[in-house]
Amino acid sequence: MSARRVAAFVEDGARVRVIAPYLCEDLLDLVHAGDVAWHVRDYAGPSDLHGAWLVHTATGDRAVDRVVAADADAAHVWCVNATSAATTRAGVPARARVTTPDGTVTVAAHADGDPGLARTVRDGVEQLLATGRLDLRRHRARRGTGWVALVGGGPGADGLLTARGHELLRSADVVVLDRLAPRGLVARLPESVEVIDVGKTPGHHPIPQDRINELLVEQARLGRAVVRLKGGDPYVLGRGGEERLACEAAGIPVEVVPGVTSAVSVPAAAGIPVTHRGIARGFTVVTSHDEILALPSGTDHTLVLLMGVSRLRDTVALLVEHGRDPATPVAIVERGWTPTQRTTTGTLATIADLANEREVASPAVIVVGDVVRLAHAAVDAR
């Protein structure tokens, strides 16, 4: 116990002198490291306390501890008496250092001689801070520059946002929202959080990317905590790299929080594994049909297309032209992880007409490859 205390004092920058005829291994390590001075003897009286700000008894002998405490009292030096809560004049709190998006916080709890209670309170506050449930927003106005976090929101289901994403969202002053970000979570934020919707719909770009980059920088310069909540993963066809570079160029602290990409998770929602032993060894994620020409064309490779609905007919024609079997299975999974998720399956030869008939619309993930045969049958029937 005393070794841990001493280590904590040393960590806080204290100069520590230990008076004891012998020491445990951990304390000896601190002595050998030069962090602690050791006087190899018993307590010799008030002169041992000379120059100290704080005395901590730990002799293991109540009578000696009491003498040390009394001497410290007489010399007006704070004393923690480890073996007698009643005579102790100072207490060492249960402490924790927590890193929050706003800086490091030290939590210290005292509970009137009940160290177990103090630890429980410390743990509780530590958790509130670590999870962002303690609202730090009010204290932020006084601080200088804010920060930006590019948070991957996952494919749309609340539960598929990372714990870190939830933490940052709870401490945000401003949330800059994508069309495919998990909007349910945003709706539950306190009213004081400003939500700026920069969502793009296909073929219609209300706010250009450069303007979004500027917006993030402007908001952070106002000293605000900015969460840029994006669909899926910020770095998968999401222009997260550009947003990060824009923040860095402006000297704004920026954190990138990965997300569950729709490229993998939306097929999964329909029961399709993008790789499967004996069926597909790898997968490629692309957007437009031009990129398809350079891809591995073996049947053991899955092709995942994002933003591919409007050009589906051209894309499948191109794939067949370049040697893919027209019987290759294809699935289109619309609105993955939402209550209206729908899967349409066919082949390279049939999928364009099927998509037309069923009025398939964006957002959807298109999967080309034999893994499509593993799709949940029940989803097909929807």
Q: Which stretch binds ligand SAH (CB under 6 A): 10-18, 124-132, 343-351, 356-364?
A: 356-364
Give the closest residue to 251 by CA, choosing from 282, 216, 286: 216
Residue partners of 314: CB distance under 8 A and separation at least 6: 289
Beta bridge partners of 346: 330
Nearer to ligand SAH, 59 or 262 (CB): 262
At 55, phi and psi to the nearest 5? -115, 140
List alpha helices for 192-261, DSSP H: 209-221, 240-249
Nearer to ligand SAH, 175 or 180 (CB): 180
Length of the chain: 382
User: Nearest approach, Cβ of 10 to ligand SAH (angstroms)?
Assistant: 46
Residue partners of 211: CB distance under 8 A and separation at least 6: 198
Give residues 130-159 in contact with ligand SAH (rule: CB under 6 A).
Answer: 155-156
Among 236, 254, 270, 316, binds ligand SAH (CB under 6 A): 236
User: Nearest approach, Cβ of 339 to ligand SAH (angstroms)?
Assistant: 12
In DSSP notation, 51-111 reads T-SEEEE--S-HHHHHHHHHHHHHTT-EEEETT-TTT-S--PPEEEEEEETTEEEEEEE--
345 touches ligand SAH by CB under 6 A: no
User: Nearest approach, Cβ of 170 to ligand SAH (angstroms)?
Assistant: 22
238 touches ligand SAH by CB under 6 A: yes
Give residues 43-102 in contact with ligand SAH (rule: CB under 6 A).
Answer: none
In DSSP notation, 107-123 reads EEE--TT-HHHHHHHHH
365 touches ligand SAH by CB under 6 A: yes
Give residues 324-343 in contact with ligand SAH (rule: CB under 6 A).
Answer: 333, 335-337
Token pair listed for 354:
């099927």
User: Nearest approach, Cβ of 151 to ligand SAH (angstroms)?
Assistant: 11
Among 30, 118, 246, 266, binds ligand SAH (CB under 6 A): 266
Give residues 159-188 in contact with ligand SAH (rule: CB under 6 A).
Answer: 180
Among 256, 306, 319, 351, binds ligand SAH (CB under 6 A): 306
Cβ atoms of 4 and 82 closer than 8 Å:
no
Report the residue closest to ligand SAH, judged by CB: 232
Distance, in Å, from the CA atom of 84 to the CA atom of 314, rounded to the nearest integer, reads: 83
Nearer to ligand SAH, 9 or 337 (CB): 337
Token pair listed for 164:
């870190």
User: Nearest approach, Cβ of 269 to ligand SAH (angstroms)?
Assistant: 8
Nearer to ligand SAH, 224 or 335 (CB): 335
Q: Which stretch binds ligand SAH (CB under 6 A): 225-233, 249-257, 272-280, 296-304?
A: 225-233
Nearer to ligand SAH, 232 or 346 (CB): 232
Say if residue 278 is exposed, middle or buried (CB neighbours under 10 Å; 0-12, 13-18, 19+).
exposed
Among 233, 243, 270, 272, binds ligand SAH (CB under 6 A): 233
270 touches ligand SAH by CB under 6 A: no
Say if residue 246 is exposed, middle or buried (CB neighbours under 10 Å; 0-12, 13-18, 19+).
buried
How many chain residues interact with ligand SAH (CB under 6 A)?
Answer: 23
Any idea what DSSP says for residue 243? Answer: H
Cβ atoms of 136 and 100 closer than 8 Å:
yes
237 touches ligand SAH by CB under 6 A: yes
Cβ atoms of 316 and 299 closer than 8 Å:
no
Give the closest residue to 87 by CA, choosing from 74, 69, 111, 114: 69
User: Nearest approach, Cβ of 312 to ligand SAH (angstroms)?
Assistant: 11
Give residues 307-326 in contact with ligand SAH (rule: CB under 6 A).
Answer: 307
User: Nearest approach, Cβ of 376 to ligand SAH (angstroms)?
Assistant: 15
Nearer to ligand SAH, 323 or 339 (CB): 339
Q: Which residues bind ligand SAH (CB under 6 A)?
A: 155-156, 180, 231-233, 236-238, 261-263, 266, 306-307, 333, 335-337, 362-365
